[in-house]
Amino acid sequence: MNPCPCGYAGADARPCRCTPISIRRYLAKISGPLIDRIALHVPVKPVDPKDFENAPECAGAGSREMREGVLAAVERQRSRHRGADDAVRNAGASAARLESPDSMEREARELLAAAQRRLLFSARSRRNIVQVARTIADLDAAETIAARHLAEAVQYRVPRFLEGI
């Protein structure tokens, strides 16, 4: 979705012409329960047409490496959840499984509790954050969710362009 009615909040290419009140009103049209169901809130800026000129050359090796990393992370998930009734991948894993002491470091659990107190996110948002953190840890080839994985996942829940509103 657009970050505001004009679509340019947070963009470098063109200044946003919306007032903070109009942005809040625009975002309020999306219900909280619907927003809770969106696991990643990532602002995407417009791409300069010049960036597409060298895209095939630049993307090739990086895309192959990324694909290999993702396939390895998927295999880690399958292996970890093998035999579990609730999941094959992190998205289907129970909160109890994802947040167990052997799955998440103490510092990560403390950071999660502090973030929930400060940001007041729902139980569904909490589960999404932990699922995303587990996936980030899998991409990092980590056995447990560390505070750095959780911190990155929390950042995906708080759109940066809303900080000043």
| CA separation for the pair 20, 155 (Å, rounded) | 21
- What's this model's pTM, rounded to 2 decimal places? 0.79
Give the number of other Cβ atoms within 10 Å of residue 63's Cβ.
Answer: 10
User: Model confidence over 51-97: pLDDT tens digits?
Assistant: 777 666 555 557 788 889 999 999 998 888 777 665 678 888 888 88
| CA separation for the pair 57, 59 (Å, rounded) | 6
- In the chain the domains, ranked by start, together with CATH numbers, are 49-162 (1.10.8)
Span 32-54, average pLDDT:
79
What is the torsion angle, in degrees rounded to the nearest 10, for the CA atoms of residue 74, residue 108, residue 114 and residue 131? Answer: 10
Closest CA to 136 of 121, 147, 126: 147
